[in-house]
Chain A
Amino acid sequence: MIGIGIVKGLVQTAKNLIGTYTDKERLVTIEYPEERQPLTEATRQFPFLVYDGDDPMKGLRCTACQICEKECPPKCIYIVKSKDKRVDYKGQNQFYPAIYDIDYSVCMSCQICVEVCPFESIKMDTAFELSTADRFGGLLVNKHQLAKSNTHYHQIHPTEAAASDEAMNLERAKAAAKAKADVEAKAKAAAAKAAATPTASPEASPELPKPAAALPKMPM
């Protein structure tokens, strides 16, 4: 009969109405600014630059290699290389970014910059409350705003940060081993030089691998 279904439906919604007042389980809404859902570890919003140590600008891992700038699909990264060089975490002399800007309004959070970065320097952040009153410049962030400490990275993505640190330590160890090898080689060479002064010139070649090891990274 017409009407029975209507009454059933009305009873159902009435149960909902009363249930929301008696049973808190029914109200699944999180009232956002006051209550927050804990972010999962997989959360990724926009990229940031990782630095080590205390001084953000000095500890910036970025070497301004510009791979991310070239790979970025919406072209939202803008980098200007520095004129001078400084020592990076591996102890090598590297450039550093004089300007590093990301336009968050253009960024599509694809994470490709993170994938391609060889220096573990750009990572995805979890901050999402980025609204601003300025439509044009408000979301264009510079390196000072982008720089966040490794501690922060450990806080938001602990697993990934540990992996990243491990990779860096490996690199560092490699570099240290190489440096040690270099030093030993140098010492050997010096010893050899000292031992046989006239026949020193053909033995100078072991010094060359250092620039050669840097070379494979260059052609992009």
Chain B
Amino acid sequence: MASLDQIFVTLKEQLVQLFPAVLQPYVGVLLSIVAIMAVFPGIFALTTVVERKLLARFQNRPGPNRVGIPLTKIRLAGFGQFAADGIKSLTKEDIIPRNADRKVHFIAPFVLVVPAFLALSVLPIGRNMTALDFPETGLLFFFAIGAATELSVFMAGWSSRNKYSLLGAMRGIAQMLSYEIPLILSSLTVVMMVGSLSLVTIVERQTSVQWGFFHSWHVFTPWGFAGFLLFLTAACAEANRTPFDLPEAESELVAGYFTEYSGFKFALFFLGEYLGMFAISGVAISLFLGGWSAPFTFLDWVPSWLWFFGKLFAFILFFIWLRGTLPRLRVDQLMNLAWKFMLPMCLLNLLVVGVWHFTAEWNELLRWSLATVLLAGPYWLFSRSFEARFKPRTYRYAADSPAAPVVAPVAPQVPI
């Protein structure tokens, strides 16, 4: 089973050996790039179909189930849809608005996609399988690269010279900037606990066995669970997924910052969004869900990369599920959630991690209950005060309507 676990690593080594020694490092890099450029867009293609099918099922519809192999009657349950969509978007006319800033308009999608690929390359997708390993700064690299997303959103929104684009871009940037703080703070808990910024080290630390049968994933601790939930929420916002899809709210902003994009560039935006989602899910997996490690020790025989991609797929399904369930937030609700609820919870979580670190010698039960109380109490308090502001809305004129009959008898007096 160890051979199956390392099959891709060995394969790469064998392939590299075929080349002269001078070229070997370059070929190795090239192979990693090709692997990433092939695998993740492949998952993207699959995700687009799965998302549409599942969303349809959540709404009691059958979803796409027709496109299969052309010229035959084989339908593949609709899984040929991504090829049809891809061909359509590649052959569509590329429209650039007359007033648009052509250069910026052209560059924007690439500014989104290239960093997304870079961000994917730091993920440990299996044992010894990390394309770009920064032993000192892996996580920092990821967050630094994520900054390019905002730039791309701005460039796309501003260069289109369209009010919806600009509104979407402004919303998007405000949202991403706000949620970057909870995102970084919640991942900081793990960094504090592990003492390293390297994603590889963080994952390896979670492979240690606890109580003889399961791996000590960070999500199995109070602070890790809270951090995971906070990270998940912030990740949802960073990836512009429903319920945080305000930047591209199609019912109000047409398509947000990529309203004026069509054809190939639109496809690039679409790809970039999904790659960003995969990357942030991958980081969540590496930070909290043990990366490529199996949940239980008796499942260790399953290859590590299979675990990673399985978890990634679970994440994708969860995001789709959320999209099928939750309505979109309002802008003020969005900002309130980030600044008045998530930020204090993140800071509190940092405190709890400190407590957890310094109570390592304590009785497990005592330690657990202390951390849980420290997190759950303020959570309850925060959410109470937070929800107090979300009472069912009353509308002034609707509330006034009972007063209307009082006015009516007055009206006949006017002629007198």
Listed in ascending order, the chain A residues whose CB lies under 8 Å from chain B are 1-3, 6, 9-10, 12-14, 16-17, 19-21, 26-29, 31
Within 8 A of A (CB), among B181-229: none
Contact A13 B62 (CB under 8 A): no
Distance in angstroms from A47 CB to nearest chain B CB is: 33
Bound CA–CA A9/B65 (angstroms): 26
B57 within 8 A of A: yes
Contact A1 B384 (CB under 8 A): yes
Contact A2 B62 (CB under 8 A): no
B325 within 8 A of A: yes
Contact B59 A16 (CB under 8 A): yes
Contact B325 A13 (CB under 8 A): yes
B60 within 8 A of A: yes
Contact A27 B325 (CB under 8 A): no
Contact B380 A9 (CB under 8 A): no
Contacts of A12 in B (CB 8 A): 325
Contacts of B62 in A (CB 8 A): 20, 27, 29, 31
Contact B386 A2 (CB under 8 A): yes
Which of A2, A10, A13, A21 contacts B341, CB < 8 Å? A2
Distance in angstroms from A27 CB to nearest chain B CB is: 6
B309 within 8 A of A: no
Distance in angstroms from A9 CB to nearest chain B CB is: 4
Contacts of B54 in A (CB 8 A): 17
Contact B386 A26 (CB under 8 A): no
Contact A29 B61 (CB under 8 A): yes
B17 within 8 A of A: no
Contact B387 A16 (CB under 8 A): no
Bound CA–CA A90/B57 (angstroms): 60
Residue of A nearest to B382 (CB): A2
Contacts of A27 in B (CB 8 A): 60-62
Q: With A1-B384, A29-B62, A31-B62 as given contacts, are A17 and B57 in contact (CB-CB < 8 Å)?
A: yes
Distance in angstroms from A156 CB to nearest chain B CB is: 29
Query: 17 new A-B pairs (CB below 8 Å) besides A2-B382, A14-B321?
Result: A1-B379, A1-B380, A1-B384, A2-B387, A6-B326, A9-B325, A10-B321, A10-B325, A16-B57, A16-B59, A17-B54, A20-B57, A21-B57, A27-B60, A27-B62, A28-B60, A31-B62
Number of B interface residues, CB 8 Å? 21
B324 within 8 A of A: yes
How many CB-defined contacts (below 8 Å) exist between A and B?
A: 48
B383 within 8 A of A: yes
Contact B383 A1 (CB under 8 A): yes
Residue of B nearest to A15 (CB): B58
Please name the 10 residue pairs, one residue from A and one from B, whose CB atoms are nearest each other, closest first: A2-B383, A9-B325, A13-B325, A13-B58, A1-B383, A17-B57, A26-B60, A20-B57, A13-B324, A16-B58
Bound CA–CA A17/B318 (angstroms): 13
Can you name 27 A-B pairs with beta carbons within 8 Å?
A1-B379, A1-B380, A1-B383, A1-B384, A1-B387, A2-B379, A2-B382, A2-B386, A2-B387, A3-B383, A6-B325, A6-B326, A9-B325, A10-B322, A12-B325, A13-B58, A13-B321, A14-B321, A16-B58, A16-B60, A17-B57, A19-B60, A20-B57, A20-B61, A26-B60, A27-B60, A29-B62
Q: Which of B60, B322, B379, B383 has the most CB of A within 10 A?
A: B60
Bound CA–CA A171/B61 (angstroms): 53
Contact A9 B384 (CB under 8 A): no
Bound CA–CA A17/B54 (angstroms): 7
Contact A20 B383 (CB under 8 A): no
Within 8 A of A (CB), among B319-357: 321-322, 324-326, 341
Contacts of A9 in B (CB 8 A): 325-326
Distance in angstroms from B391 CB to nearest chain A CB is: 14
Bound CA–CA A120/B99 (angstroms): 58
Bound CA–CA A89/B67 (angstroms): 53
Q: CB-CB contacts of B374-392 with A at 8 A, as 1s and 0s?
A: 0000011011101100000
Distance in angstroms from B234 CB to nearest chain A CB is: 14
Distance in angstroms from A30 CB to nearest chain B CB is: 10
Residue of A nearest to B345 (CB): A2
Bound CA–CA A19/B62 (angstroms): 12
Residue of A nearest to B58 (CB): A13
Contacts of B61 in A (CB 8 A): 20, 27, 29
